[in-house]
Structure 1
Amino acid sequence: MTDEQPVPPAEEQVPVCPRHPDRESYVRCQRCGRPACPDCQRPAAVGIQCVDCVREGAKSVRQARTVFGGSVTDGRPLVTMTLIGACVVVFVLQQVVPGLTSRLLFVPVLGDVQPWRFVTSVFAHGGLLHIALNMYALWIMGQYLEPMLGRARFAALYALAGFGGSVGLLLLASPPAGGVCTPGSAWCTGALGASGAVFGLFGAFIVLQRRLNRSAAGMYVIIGINAVIGFVYPGIAWQAHLGGIVVGAAAGAVLAYLGRGRAEGPLGERRHLGWMHWAGLAGIAVLLLLVTAVRYLAA
């Protein structure tokens, strides 16, 4: 037989941290009353709370939203910087990898069999001045729009506008008669650059500024100058600029005017109807795909 050891009364038991039973703790959580070791203690407005109570409390805190329903960030345009970095990397690779540019640019005659060109063309550029101007415009617009929309919505806007630029070129470039490519034909020559996506940001900017009752007069001047340049100087795909700005304005309208209402949450809180944004943006993407399919079937 073994001797049974008496169990100390509850008031004499040494309190231990529930998450770290090997650690004694005489500090208790102000919310649940359980012991919390130094690693599990979090300062609160009054006293100390354990990490479990802090995590549980965070679930009931309403997440801060931007004026257009996006998640509030720390202000750094990370998506913008990532896009610029990707364009710079691709531009460097274009200089060192023979034939890479011809495999990245968007050529309407090849789009149905090489659909990746709709996207890759947005990251490739034709020269140092070309990428410098586009990246400068992207940086200026991204610093303003990304914190306003939130990173996810801004990324979706840029992607749709870039794709829309390629679709604009596809729709407005005429197939050569008899299917034989001729020199200078936009249908066979193709285009590259982030200009279509940047013009999409211009279009969204105008719509969002109007929704906020702010002036966008300066942007009209910039768009007008670029429109004239696109028609005066050869080799500029004005069709991609037009496609980008139309799609960007449409996406901007979705973000500006849909989801503005509020709905009651399970705890009685007011929630932004953000799902309407994503439904609207998805609808634009589906429409672009349908238009692309119809264009190729009719070509």
Structure 2
Amino acid sequence: MGRLTEAIKHLIIINVIFFIASQLYGEQLYQWLALYFPKNENFELWQIITHMFMHGGLMHIAFNMYGLWAFGSPLERAWGKNKFLFFYFSAGLGSALLHIGANYYFFNDGLNALVEAGVSKSQILDTISSGRYSPDWYAITSQSSVDSMISAFSTPAVGASGAVYGVLVAFAFMFPNAELMMIFLPVPIKAKYFVPVIILGDLFFGITNTNTGIAHFAHIGGALIGFIMMWYWKKNQFNKNRWN
């Protein structure tokens, strides 16, 4: 870990600036910069990047910035600034795309169930676009299906955790035997075991659609892109000098 490397220092500064601004301007800034579902009227293309700099609270940004510093610093020192930034934003983009893809699945699952039961598609979209829902929907399909549809459409995603998950995967590739500690399990665990365990946890909660308030598929997306890039770089021996 050690001192702050250049790219990570600037990423942390930008995240902190965005966090302070969100505390001052609140709802309006989240509406502009958080990642909304593409069918939501608040969606803008730039949100695929800007959501990575928005956070939902002090603990949220603190954990993400700690993870970025703790696991990203050794990577930047090994790779250099340019390669690290390319990797970081690629993982963040992959995180956003898988999150959106999962939301499309959950949104269409609920929407199609209601439409097949005779509810007008335009009526459903008008209702949820205005921030409302119909209690009658729960009599047509399961509550989890309706709630997932509404959540996918209405709930914006914020945070750098998708990109940080990519960084975690890269750290496990580069330093597989580094010993890490879980807060709830104060026993040293090697990175090559620690990282797969937390990703499997996200996969379980994501597939079961458990409402934890966490965008689990965003985490999986960042981890997946991180894995693919590390596998490709290792296979093709993309060294630091190619990025300087």
Larger radius of gyration: 1
Q: CA deviation at 1:93?
A: 0.2
Q: Identify if the C-alpha distance between structure 1 residues 91 and 110 changes in structure 2 by more than 3 Å, giving closer, same or farther.
A: farther
Instruction: Kindly indicate whether residue 47 of structure 2 is the aligned counterpart of residue 117 of structure 1.
Output: yes
2:34 pairs, out of 90, 94, 105, with: 105
Give the distance between the partners of 1:166 and 1:111, measured in 2 at CA.
15
Q: Identify if the C-alpha distance between structure 1 residues 254 and 229 changes in structure 2 by more than 3 Å, giving closer, same or farther.
A: same
- Unpaired segments ≥5 residues, structure 2: 112-120, 134-146, 177-189
Letter in 1 for 2:15: C
Deviations 1:174-225 (A, max 9, x none): 2342362466422432211001101111222333446xxx962233344345
Q: CA deviation at 1:258?
A: 1.2
| Partner SS state of residue 136, structure 1 | helix
| Partner SS state of residue 53, structure 2 | coil
Q: Is the 8 A contact 2:18 2:53 kept in 1?
A: yes
Instruction: Kindly indicate whether residue 168 of structure 2 is the aligned counterpart of residue 202 of structure 1.
Output: yes
Q: Identify if the C-alpha distance between structure 1 residues 167 and 79 changes in structure 2 by more than 3 Å, giving closer, same or farther.
A: same
The corresponding residue for 1:161 is 91
Give the distance between the partners of 1:243 and 1:208, measured in 2 at CA.
20
Instruction: Kindly indicate whether residue 187 of structure 2 is the aligned counterpart of residue 258 of structure 1.
Output: no
After superposing the two structures, state which structure 1 stretch, 79-88 or 251-260, moved more. 251-260
In the TM superposition, 1:182-201 aligns within 5 A as 184-201=150-167
Q: Is the 8 A contact 2:95 2:221 kept in 1?
A: yes
The corresponding residue for 1:91 is 19
Letter in 2 for 1:197: A
Instruction: Kindly indicate whether residue 72 of structure 2 is the aligned counterpart of residue 142 of structure 1.
Output: yes
Q: Give the aligned length.
A: 191
- Unpaired segments ≥5 residues, structure 1: 1-74, 261-271, 279-299
2:226 pairs, out of 226, 248, 261, with: 248
Give the distance between the partners of 1:129 and 1:78, measured in 2 at CA.
24
Q: Identify if the C-alpha distance between structure 1 residues 110 and 138 changes in structure 2 by more than 3 Å, giving closer, same or farther.
A: farther
Q: Is the 8 A contact 1:108 1:169 kept in 2?
A: no
Question: What is the TM-score normalised by the length of structure 2?
Answer: 0.67
Give the distance between the partners of 1:252 and 1:245, measured in 2 at CA.
10
- Determine what percentage of the aligned residue pairs are the same residue: 30
Give the distance between the partners of 1:216 and 1:82, measured in 2 at CA.
28
Give the distance between the partners of 1:148 and 1:134, measured in 2 at CA.
21
Give the distance between the partners of 1:88 and 1:94, measured in 2 at CA.
10
| Partner SS state of residue 239, structure 1 | helix
Question: What is the TM-score normalised by the length of structure 1?
Answer: 0.56
- Which protein has greater RCO, CA pairs closer than 8 Å, 6+ apart? 2
The corresponding residue for 1:79 is 7
| Partner SS state of residue 38, structure 2 | helix
Deviations 1:86-120 (A, max 9, x none): 11110000011241012111112258962100000
Q: Identify if the C-alpha distance between structure 1 residues 137 and 232 changes in structure 2 by more than 3 Å, giving closer, same or farther.
A: farther
Q: CA deviation at 1:254?
A: 2.5
Instruction: Kindly indicate whether residue 164 of structure 2 is the aligned counterpart of residue 234 of structure 1.
Output: no
Q: Is the 8 A contact 1:111 1:117 kept in 2?
A: no
Give the distance between the partners of 1:171 and 1:127, measured in 2 at CA.
25
Give the distance between the partners of 1:224 and 1:245, measured in 2 at CA.
11
| Partner SS state of residue 219, structure 2 | helix
Q: CA deviation at 1:242?
A: 1.1
Q: Is the 8 A contact 1:77 1:146 kept in 2?
A: yes
